[in-house]
Chains A and B, each alone.
Chain A
Amino acid sequence: MLVIQGLGKTFRKAAKATQAVQALDSVSFSVDEGEYVCLLGRSGCGKSTLLGILAGLIAPDEGLALCRGTSIQGPDRHRMLMFQEAALFPWLNVFNNVLYSLKFVHELSKGQKCERAESFLDLVGLADYHHFRIHELSGGMRQRVALARALAPDPDILLMDEPFSALDAMTREQLYTDMQRIWRTTNKTILMVTHNVREAVCLGTRVLVMERPGRVIADEKVLLPYPRAMNDTALVRAAADISGHLQKTDEHGQEKAG
């Protein structure tokens, strides 16, 4: 479904080649239909750059990124991206925010679009909030609207860039439960960036560990049955195993000796 081969990206400050920052160094992996893949790594390891490339917002320097067999060229509504902030439009109410993402789904009639928006708001648990304004919602509710907006046009893949990291712990736990339900009802392929190990293990079918500068160092399947609970002992143990990979790299992303 998603194939990434030898993807590289270096950010240069104009004219100063010495100040180049290597964000991605020949990253390769693939994601199968219906998988929930979590990309785990310290901040600055290139996770967000990778997601930006897959969303078509950043052009890679080298390598190949294919989605359903076609090369990724620019943003496309078949690859939806969710951010750390909800980035909802404050001049539209909840319903119209979701409707906005259906503007470009030309095969649907006006009525079908409204039905679609309604059903996705139901799915994320906001059936009673259609006419609320964005500033009236809590952070968790805003992310739910953003999720409904991203899912409504039925994308091939949903890319999520640390979608829960700006939320408080209780809201997050509730969203983990809901996210598992939503993923299993929609069968979406999801690639989610996070720096929370337990979050990755709780949600993902697979966890990829990245390190600086922009390399994948581990690719682990999470075989625990759904629905998963954050405090389940098996889950905590699995998370500890994954953490082991992260600890091999110190703050500066250098591998420790031994």
Chain B
Amino acid sequence: MTTRLLSLGIGLIALGLWQAATDGLGLVSPLLLPSPAATCSYLIDSIMDGLFPGALLVTIKRLMTGYGLGLTLGLIMGLMLSVSPVARGTLGLTALGLQTLPSVCWAPLAILWFGQTEAAMYFVVVMGSVWAVAMATENAVSSVPPIYARAAQVMGSRGWHTWRTVILPMALPGLLSGAKLGWAFAWRSLMAAEIYVTIIRRFGLGQLLHFGRELNAMEQVAAVMIVIIAVGLITDRLLFRPIERYLKRTRGL
């Protein structure tokens, strides 16, 4: 409890110093760094007039679709990698290489192939997340100690049944890390995609950030960044934390 109060206190002092340096003493120009008060009032205004909720909705929709696709494809590819040496020699090497490529590098190709469309965004998000998910899935499955599958086989389990009732549940913690990693990559990729790919009348958070920069409206940039951070934190709490809690409770991980 005292730790929490202390943390809160330190946070408030930092915020106070920031406020003092910008609005209070005018040490930093608002063109370079907006004050917390200005950012906050912009944030509230933009939420009230529907700009942020609209953009957020557009972004979340893209994220869910793109991440959903990336996760599904990544899981399928990861499973293929874990069962087939041929897949490891071909797809595995491709995944390893493409995983190191920052997803924003796909943006020029995506625009060329799909134009300024939603498809271009999904493409960048999928390319940004799918390889990491595939590699993590393969790793999660192949690091399940073979003794578990053997124990199940001795009891009479075979083939797909062993996969469904032993290998996949056993790999769940690793699969979850893969999903989290994929989520982090998808979120970054989408922000890059939204800055590059402009779709008129369907603005996401990335575009708002981009326009904020073009208009020199630093309080807009800061406010959008806060929303982006908030989305990341809330998803972690809502999507992944419950599964992590469940794993901790049942397996003591």
A: residues with CB less than 8 A from B are 55-57, 75-77, 79-81, 83, 85, 87, 89-91, 100-101, 103-104, 133-136, 149, 153
Contacts and interface: CB of A to CB of B under 8 A. Distances in A.
Nearest to B169: A91
B169 A89 contact: yes
Contacts of A103: 155-157
A149 B147 CA distance: 15
Contacts of A80: 154-155
A160 B152 CA distance: 15
A228 to B, nearest CB: 29
Interface of B: 147-148, 150-157, 165-166, 169-170, 172, 249-252
Given A90-B251, A103-B156, 16 more contacts: A75-B150, A77-B154, A79-B154, A80-B155, A85-B147, A87-B147, A90-B170, A90-B250, A91-B170, A100-B155, A103-B155, A103-B157, A104-B155, A104-B157, A133-B252, A136-B252
A134 B154 contact: no
A57 B147 CA distance: 11
Contact of A89 (B148, B154, B249): B148
Nearest to A87: B151
B139 to A, nearest CB: 19
11 contacts: A55-B154, A57-B150, A57-B153, A57-B154, A75-B150, A77-B154, A80-B154, A89-B166, A90-B252, A100-B152, A103-B156
Contacts of B251: 90-91, 133-135
A80 B250 CA distance: 27
A136 to B, nearest CB: 7
